[in-house]
Structures are given as structure tokens and as C-alpha cells.
Amino acid sequence: MKKEIKEKLEFPEGIDFEIIGNIIHVKGSGKESKMKFNIENVSIKKHENNILIESKKATKKELKMINTFIAHVKNMIKGIKEEFIYKLEICYVHFPMTLEVDKAKGLVIIKNFLGEKKPRTSKILKGAEIVIEKNKIIVSSNSKEIAGQTAANLEKATWVRNRDRRKFQDGIFMTEKCGRHI
């Protein structure tokens, strides 16, 4: 069944935004975030300090896309106010692994993982900052997607295949996502 849907999203004071085509730029307190959205059959307009989202003949698909769009924009607003922080922990039993950040190449180099001679690498997405303190890693960014993907890249780089996880517990593991303990 097709029906008309109208949603309104208010922006807080001190945060500016502009819509250029299907790209939304959010600015405030010296930070900037932008995201591209491709939503068919949905119009997005700026009205004063609000975003108006309308669809004349919306189905369940358009309703899902509108709600996803609103969630992404709310995350952009939250990222402008405060950074998203992911905490990871380095775990090893026998072979002590070391991590180095190569900012020029945008990589984290993981050395001596399970005694391997060849170092493993993990990609740091542009806009993410990594701090390594002993066996703790802190990934922060004003974009939830960038911080989460960088943390996932670190975790995936030390994934062990064809071994029993109860015995081989070496790796990098996420312990906290945006203030929520795992």
C-alpha cells in the first residue's frame, strides 16, 4: 500500500548543515562531516534549521530508507558534538606482538603475531585517529562508520583460521563500542 510520508528532523543550535544534491554537509564546533545518500522517490529539503523528508507514494522500502537516513544524520550530529570512541585490547599468550602506526601509508603494522615472520597490516580510514598504549588501542573519529570500520579492520587483521579459539586466544579484540562495554 502506498501512502504519503512526511518526516521532520531538527538540528540543535550551533550546528549548521547544507544539502547539495544528494550530499549532506554538517558543520559545527570546528568539525565537519559529509555523507552521500541515494534515496529514490524521496525529496529532502532544508527549511530553516530543519530537514524535511517527503515521499508522495511511499512503500515499506521508502519508509525503511527514510528511517535509515534519519539515523545516519543523527549519528552525524552526535559526531559533531562528541567523538565516537572504540576501545580494543591486544591479547597474546606466548608470542608478544607489537603494533606500529604508519600515518604516511595509513596502516597499522602488526609484528610477531603467533610468531609469524611476515607482519600483518590493517588499514586506517581517513579521519580516524589511533592511540596505542601498551596492550590497549583507542580508535576515535567524528564519524561512527569510520571509527567502527577502522576498529573492525584491526580485529579482522588478527583473525585466526583453522585453529581452536579456546586454545589460540591471541589477537586484537573489541572491548568497548561508543561507551558500551561488550
d(CA 14, CA 61) in angstroms, rounded, equals 33
Q: What pLDDT score does 158 carry?
A: 94
Containing 89, the helix (H) or strand (E) segment is strand 84-91
Final residue of a structural domain among 40, 64, 81? 81
If asked whether residues 10 and 76 sit together in one domain, one would say yes
If asked whether residues 110 and 56 sit together in one domain, one would say no
Does residue 1 surpass a pLDDT of 70? no
If asked whether residues 14 and 25 sit together in one domain, one would say yes
d(CA 81, CA 117) in angstroms, rounded, equals 43
Contact between 158 and 99 (Cβ < 8 Å): no
If asked whether residues 77 and 100 sit together in one domain, one would say no
If asked whether residues 69 and 95 sit together in one domain, one would say no
If asked whether residues 48 and 74 sit together in one domain, one would say yes
If asked whether residues 111 and 143 sit together in one domain, one would say yes
* pLDDT, average across residues 166-179: 90
Domain hosting 55: range is 3-81
Final residue of a structural domain among 66, 81, 96? 81
Q: How confident is the model at residue 178 (pLDDT cuts 50, 70, 90)?
A: confident
If asked whether residues 27 and 68 sit together in one domain, one would say yes
* pLDDT, average across residues 59-85: 92
Nearest to 79 by CA among 178, 182, 175: 178
Domains of the chain: total? 2
Q: pLDDT tens for residues 92-144?
A: 988 999 999 999 999 999 999 999 999 999 999 999 999 999 999 999 999 99
Final residue of a structural domain among 47, 81, 115? 81
Q: How confident is the model at residue 58 (pLDDT cuts 50, 70, 90)?
A: confident
If asked whether residues 65 and 90 sit together in one domain, one would say no
